[in-house]
C-alpha cells in the first residue's frame, strides 16, 4: 500500500488566483505559509517558514475563491504532485499540493496563534 498525503495548517500569503476553463471548471491556487518554532539547547528561539503552493478544482475552487483572502488561516489535506516542463529549452520543475479537503479556520482578525510543536531535547517533534 502506498500513501501520498500532505496536511497543512497555515496562512495564505496572497489572495487566491482562479482560472475558469472553457468547460466551466474552476481551478484555484494560492500559497500557504507554515511556520516552525523551536528552542535550541541554549534556550534561543528560532523559526523557519515554509511556503507551499496549493491547487484545487471545483467544488473546492469555488469555495476558496469566494471565502479566502490573504492572511486567512486554512487547513488543507491533499496529495503532493511534482511537475516537470520545458521553457525556452530549459527544463523546469515545481511541486504543489493538490487539495482534496479544506477547512476555513477564520479570517486574519479572528484567528488564534498556531500551537507550537512539542519540544524534546531542543528539537521540534
> Each residue of 95-110: pLDDT tens digit?
999 999 999 886 554 4
CA pair distance 15, 2, nearest whole angstrom:
33
For residue 124, name the pLDDT band (cuts at 50, 70, 90).
very low
- 5-54 tens-digit pLDDT: 999 999 999 999 999 999 999 999 999 999 999 999 999 999 999 999 99
- 40-98 tens-digit pLDDT: 999 999 999 999 999 999 999 999 999 999 999 999 999 999 999 999 999 999 999 99
Domains, the chain, with CATH or none? 6-111 (2.40.50.140)
Tell me the average pLDDT of the chain: 86
pLDDT over 80 (residue 125): no
Q: pLDDT at position 28, please?
A: 97
Is residue 15 a contact partner of residue 70, using CB atoms and an 8 Å limit?
A: yes
DSSP single-letter state for residue 14: S
DSSP single-letter state for residue 111: -
* DSSP strand pairing (90-106 vs 45-57): parallel
The pTM of the full predicted model, rounded to 2 decimals, is 0.76
Amino acid at each position: 500500500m502506498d500513501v501520498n498525503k500532505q496536511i497543512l495548517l497555515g496562512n495564505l500569503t496572497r489572495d487566491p488566483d482562479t482560472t475558469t476553463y472553457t468547460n466551466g471548471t474552476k481551478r484555484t491556487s494560492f500559497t500557504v505559509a507554515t511556520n516552525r518554532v523551536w528552542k535550541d539547547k541554549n534556550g534561543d528561539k528560532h523559526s523557519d517558514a515554509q511556503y507551499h503552493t496549493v491547487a484545487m478544482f471545483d467544488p473546492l475552487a469555488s469555495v476558496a475563491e469566494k471565502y479566502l483572502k490573504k492572511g486567512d488561516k486554512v487547513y488543507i489535506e491533499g496529495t503532493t504532485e511534482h511537475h516537470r516542463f520545458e521553457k525556452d529549452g530549459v527544463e523546469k520543475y515545481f511541486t504543489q499540493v493538490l487539495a482534496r479537503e479544506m477547512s476555513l479556520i477564520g479570517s486574519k482578525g479572528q484567528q488564534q496563534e498556531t500551537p507550537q510543536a512539542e519540544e524534546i531535547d531542543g528539537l521540534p517533534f
